[in-house]
Amino acid sequence: MFLFSVIWFLSETSAAPSLTAEQMSMSMDWLSKFGYLPPPDPVTGQLQTKEALTKAIKAMQKFGGLEETGVLDEETLVLMKTPRCSLPDLSQSESPLRRRRRALPSQTKWSKRHLSWRIRTFPKESHLLGRDTVRALMYYALKVWSDIAPLDFHEVAGNQADIQIDFTKADHNDGYPFDGPGGTVAHAFYPGDSVTAGDVHFDNDEAWTFRSPSDSHGMDLFAVAVHEFGHAIGLAHASAMASIMRPYYQGPVGDPLKYSLPYEDKVRIWQLYGVRDSVSHTAQPDTSHGSDQPVLLDLPENRSTILPDSDIPDRCSAHFDAVAQIRGEAFFFKGKYFWRLTREKHLVSLRPAQIHRFWRGLPTTLDSVDAVYERPRDHKIVFFKGLNYWVFKDNNVEEGYPRPISDFGLPTEGVDAAFVWPHNDKTYFFKGDQYWRYDDYLHRMDLGYPKDSVLWKGIPAQLDDATRWSDGASYFFKGAEYWRVRGSDMEVEAGYPRPIGKDWLLCADMLSDSPAPDVNGTDTRLRGQHRASHAGSNYQGS
């Protein structure tokens, strides 16, 4: 009956005399699939009228930025063949024919502002992109939206997340089957109460790329991810040619570290959620990198960096080289690697990341760091190793480094620990049984130092490191234990020391109530941490 409808339409109009019945059938399928036509009724066999088809074609042409001829001309057919998002273009109220079909929400949004995300399945191994790159691109694609709207995204390692990301293929039981290379390349689900709300699916049959020329074969993953995350937070398709929410694939959009949304997309997301406090009237995100911002790590190289098991240090064994709070998150450094925790002390991944790959400018031969802290006056990150130190703005080393630690007035033996005391915003350095107090605002050591570290009652000598934390307390680490000092006190709180592994790093063998890790290496305590509230990410392969 549907084929008869096609033949009837071709016989009734001279709109596209060169079209075959197969081409016409595919075009009608396309119009129905993307919301311009209702599907033919399989019970009544009701034919599509010439008027209805013409209206549908004109609506598609208008939305696609073409001349509204109502004719399936070459330009219209080319646009229909352009790779695109699977979701329909028009809401039910906007459809040229309001017969019953799959409804597209006209406006939905999240009731909360802190959203977790997780990549559940990665691209097939034959793809050019490694897991670290895919993870980084997802982070930056989400950050495009959180830079301007009051939303915060955080990657979690557990099975539960607000936004689940999958690379899948063909019919994957969600109502939007993929169709191989080209055609539909990805889709996402709007916020709501359904189990799939916020989820994003990419076609695993596509050749996903990054940093490839615009005329090269493949789909730029960052550009598509920005579009799909727009859906995941509530935006429908837009007809504006410049909009990232235009349904058709438009090629790469540039450097993920510098990309800014088109103005129309900014306005639409502001209408849903309002404007982020840090955004000025010119719609430019705040670049001051205050303490509430995540570390903006550079994108990894276009390859996987899964670490060999023999090279991975044990996070649950004693001793860390350095511990630091950076942009509100905790970083535990051991050898050439680090683990990262969210503001809520949720471990982002059980596997560590390589220090020199993220803070590029440190020597690639660096086997460890002595101490790390975030400078209070400008939030730059300072690394110490031996007699040298480096200053980073985010992950980029400043010019002129390394420099000697004598700049601080520190001893030539190096430092054991460095942290900023929340009580007075002064930087404290420890070495052996002595400590120094430095004023980062005045760039000088305070008079009367060094002093005996015994003044910090209960704190052991020869610390591994120390750090401030968002609860206003200071934490001191040595061996397998840590000590806590509250507020302006200089005395260890009762009940300390406590084990680092148990309280910070999900070491299951130290937890009597912890189940054994599952086959994926992620225990159920980690899976349960799925409502983290701070933007950030972890990029290493796992």
Note the pLDDT tens digit of each residue in 267-321.
Answer: 999 999 999 986 644 434 333 333 333 333 444 433 333 444 456 788 888 789 9
Contact 337, 388 (CB under 8 A): no
Q: Average pLDDT of 359-379?
A: 87
Amino acid letter, 487? G
**Residues 539, 3: Cα–Cα separation, whole Å:** 50
Write down the number of H helices and E strands in the chain: 10, 26
Contact 9, 51 (CB under 8 A): no
Amino acid letter, 528? G
Set 22, 125, 228, 264: catalytic member: 228
Predicted local distance difference test score (pLDDT) of residue 526: 37
Q: Does position 389 have pLDDT exceeding 80, yes or no?
A: yes
More confident residue, 211 or 94: 211
Contact 232, 100 (CB under 8 A): no
Q: Does position 251 have pLDDT exceeding 60, yes or no?
A: yes
399 part of the active site? no
| β-strands 426-431, 417-421 pairing | antiparallel
439 is in an annotated binding site: no
State pTM to two decimals.
Answer: 0.54
Q: Does position 332 have pLDDT exceeding 70, yes or no?
A: yes
Among residues 406, 368, 361, which one has the least CA distance to residue 388?
406
**Residues 207, 180: Cα–Cα separation, whole Å:** 10
180 is in an annotated binding site: yes
Exposure string of 362-397, with b = 16+ CB inside 10 Å and e = fewer, is: beeebeebbbbbbebeebbbbbbbbbebbbbebeeb
Among residues 444, 503, 445, 502, which one has the least CA distance to residue 473?
503
41 is in an annotated binding site: no
Q: Which long-range contacts (CB under 8 A, 24 or more apart) does 413-417 make?
A: 414/370, 414/384, 414/385, 414/386, 414/387, 415/370, 415/371, 415/384, 416/370, 416/371, 416/462, 416/463, 416/464, 416/465, 417/371, 417/463, 417/464, 417/465, 417/466, 417/476, 417/477
245 is in an annotated binding site: yes
Where residue 52 falls (left for φ over 0; alpha for ψ -120 to 50; beta otherwise) is: alpha
pLDDT, one tens digit per residue, over 13-68 is 444 556 777 778 888 889 988 989 876 665 544 556 788 889 999 999 999 999 99
DSSP string, 389-429: EEEEETTEEPTT--EEGGGGT--TT--SEEEEETTTTEEEE
Predicted local distance difference test score (pLDDT) of residue 283: 39
Predicted local distance difference test score (pLDDT) of residue 214: 58
Contact 136, 539 (CB under 8 A): yes
127 is in an annotated binding site: no
Q: Does position 535 have pLDDT exceeding 50, yes or no?
A: no
Predicted local distance difference test score (pLDDT) of residue 94: 54
pLDDT, one tens digit per residue, over 75-87 is 999 999 999 999 9
**Residues 422, 472: Cα–Cα separation, whole Å:** 6
Amino acid letter, 362? L
Q: Is 444 exposed, middle or buried (0-12, 13-18, 19+ CB in 10 A)?
A: exposed
Peptide bond into 497 cis (omega under 30): yes
**Residues 476, 465: Cα–Cα separation, whole Å:** 6
**Residues 530, 385: Cα–Cα separation, whole Å:** 35
227 is in an annotated binding site: yes
CA dihedral 95, 101, 106, 108 (to 10 degrees): -170
Share of the chain above pLDDT 70, in %: 77
187 is in an annotated binding site: yes
Peptide bond into 40 cis (omega under 30): no
Helix 131-146 with 221-232: angle, nearest 10 deg: 50
443 is in an annotated binding site: no
**Cα R_g (the chain), whole angstroms:** 28
321 is in an annotated binding site: yes
206 is in an annotated binding site: yes
172 is in an annotated binding site: yes
- Structural domains of the chain in order of their starting residue, each with its CATH number: 2-81 (1.10.101), 114-273 (3.40.390.10), 309-527 (2.110.10.10)
Contact 228, 203 (CB under 8 A): no
When pLDDT is cut at 50, 70 and 90, the band that residue 363 belongs to is: confident
Predicted local distance difference test score (pLDDT) of residue 528: 35
| β-strands 381-385, 388-393 pairing | antiparallel
85 is in an annotated binding site: yes
Predicted local distance difference test score (pLDDT) of residue 58: 94
